[in-house]
Amino acid sequence: MTPGIRPLVAGNWKMNGTAASLGELRAISHGFMSGLDAETDALICPPATLLARAADIVSSTPVKVGGQDCHAKESGAHTGDVSAEMLKDAGASHVIVGHSERRTDHGETDAGVRAKAEAAWRAGICAVLCIGETKAERELGSTLDILSRQITGSVPSAATAHNTVIAYEPVWAIGTGLTPTAADVAEAHAHIRAELKELLGAEAAKMRILYGGSVKPSNAVELLSVENVDGALVGGASLKAADFLAIAEAYRSI
């Protein structure tokens, strides 16, 4: 938690979900309408195929929906890609950029991620910009250097607390059930805050820095209580409304 920053609990459904999964989104919306919105903001990023229907479902609820990636350009001959403008048109308020699964599987560079964040702003939506070290980088002791490099390379200097959310996701913690210790998370988030301050000045103090990687109901209170952790980016546990709501409920006891 950071005093003065309202937390955000975000779900990344990745390549999971068909129309049948929208019942989980309805249940998530009900949970937030029944009072959880007092504790935290909520965002669900379903696959692009479900985005418009998801946006309808959450339209009169506190829950927002977002995309999982966007092309840097507004339109053009880019078969299979989706622009930030298209996401916004489908009802998205946010888009995840630079997720490690895209950095790894699609060779995305820091400069490419920065262009996608700027594309999100151009479309009028907020970028959820992911950074994080691999297992090998952590074992080499270079975690903080990697985070510095990713921030310098992929966070545009015009980033504000309004148009950008940072998500720290250690690659080795994603989908593995492994998490860093609370002390390691505290160190990484304090470092990210300091680097953002170098880049953005006073604005950095207001920016949300989410933690992602094997967040589940059983570890949510411990991870979300850490200083400078302003919410979570949840993968697997966001697919089940009960788990996602239980993670958000952690804020009732923090």
Ligand X SMILES: O=C(CO)COP(=O)(O)O
Q: Which residues are catalytic?
A: 99, 169
Q: Is 175 one of the annotated binding-site residues? A: yes
Q: Which residues contact 237 (CB under 8 A, 6 or more apart)?
A: 215, 216, 217, 243, 244, 247
For the bound state, the minimum distance from the C-beta of residue 213 to ligand X, rounded and expressed in Å, comes to 5
> Looking at 41, 118, 169, 195, which residue binds ligand X (CB under 6 A)?
169
Examine residue 234 and tell whether it contacts ligand X (CB under 6 A): yes
For the bound state, the minimum distance from the C-beta of residue 79 to ligand X, rounded and expressed in Å, comes to 25
> Looking at 31, 67, 91, 236, which residue binds ligand X (CB under 6 A)?
236
SS3 labels along 97-137:
ECCHHHHHHCCCCHHHHHHHHHHHHHHCCEEEEEECCCHHH
Examine residue 229 and tell whether it contacts ligand X (CB under 6 A): no
Examine residue 51 and tell whether it contacts ligand X (CB under 6 A): no
Range in contact with ligand X (rule: CB under 6 A) among 54-62, 72-80, 110-118, 207-215: 207-215
**b/e sequence 40-72, b meaning 16+ C-beta within 10 Å:** bbbbbbbbbebbeebbebbeebebbbbbbbbbb
Chain residues that interact with ligand X, rule: CB under 6 A? 12, 99, 169, 174-175, 212-215, 233-237
